[in-house]
């Protein structure tokens, strides 16, 4: 990659690296476009590449049973997909689905492990990110168990807006029910409540955030906790 391309990188983990470490890592990356609905990993299958999203974002989904699934995380330009490799595990823990189309940097698992070995700064950055991921997984478990669907939906919309870098994005009620692990009627009821409060608008799968402050008030505490953890550890 050229110096101009290096200066345009917007992945926060890569931006935090010392210039020489980042330049060496970027030399082994290829710029790609993430396609909406594309499956990057399937659970329990080998991890062949790692991804640093710069524009798109990825949904991490786990199976509850043969007929239900639950989203346990989102990866946007604040993170990396494939961090389990640094633990010596080359098997994907989650089904990884592109939820927001956009740009990303991709490198092979072998190149990533080589760069990880030679760069203490990268090791430290990803250890911090792994800690954050563990905390956020625990927070998602708490949220799923104790909080109402409307508050969980508000949290998810805020998290998605942060990674989409836009007030508008596409998502259907069917997909929201799928990733939040609830019946479609529950999602419809929660979304209608947010519509009546004029926090969002919704038309043919296109959601627009109209009142972010109001949406934050409607969300559970989990959204604030997640952001505070990230900023405290990786600021």
**Percent of the chain topping pLDDT 70:** 95
Give the H or E element holding residue 196.
helix 184-196
Q: What is the pTM of this model?
A: 0.89
Q: What structural domains and CATH numbers belong to the chain?
A: 3-119 (2.60.120.10), 148-219 (1.10.10.10)
Q: Note the pLDDT tens digit of each residue in 80-112.
A: 999 999 999 999 999 999 999 999 999 999 999
How far is Cα 82 from Cα 147, in angstroms, rounded to an integer? Answer: 29
- % of residues, the chain, pLDDT over 90: 76
Q: Which pLDDT band holds residue 211 (cuts at 50, 70, 90)? A: very high
Checking phi first, is residue 31 left (phi over 0); if not, alpha (psi -120 to 50) or beta? beta
pLDDT exceeds 80 at position 52? yes
What would the pLDDT profile of 158-198 be if each residue is shown by its tens digit? 999 999 889 998 888 888 888 888 888 999 999 999 999 99
Q: Is residue 4 over pLDDT 50?
A: no
Angle between helices 184-196 and 173-180 (to 10 degrees): 110
């Amino acid at each position: 990659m050229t110096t101009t391309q290096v200066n345009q990188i917007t992945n926060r983990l890569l931006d935090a690296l010392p210039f020489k470490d980042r330049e060496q890592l970027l030399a082994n990356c290829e710029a790609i476009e993430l396609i909406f609905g594309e499956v990057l990993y399937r659970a329990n299958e080998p991890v062949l590449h790692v991804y640093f999203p710069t524009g798109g974002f990825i949904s991490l989904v786990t199976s509850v049973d043969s007929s239900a699934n639950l989203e346990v995380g989102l990866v946007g330009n604040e993170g990396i997909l494939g961090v389990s490799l640094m633990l010596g595990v080359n098997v994907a823990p989650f089904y990884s689905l592109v939820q927001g189309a956009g740009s990303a940097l991709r490198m092979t698992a072998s190149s990533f492990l080589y760069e990880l070995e030679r760069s203490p700064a990268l090791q430290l950055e990803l250890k911090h990110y792994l800690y954050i991921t563990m905390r956020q997984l625990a927070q998602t478990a708490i949220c799923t168990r104790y909080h109402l669907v409307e508050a969980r939906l508000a949290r998810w919309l805020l998290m998605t807006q942060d990674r989409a870098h836009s007030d508008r994005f596409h998502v259907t009620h069917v997909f929201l029910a799928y990733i939040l692990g609830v019946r479609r009627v529950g999602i419809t009821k929660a979304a209608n409540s947010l519509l009546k409060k004029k926090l969002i608008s919704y038309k043919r799968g296109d959601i627009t955030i109209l009142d972010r402050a109001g949406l934050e008030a409607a969300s559970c505490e989990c959204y604030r906790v997640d952001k505070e953890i990230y900023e405290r550890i990786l600021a």
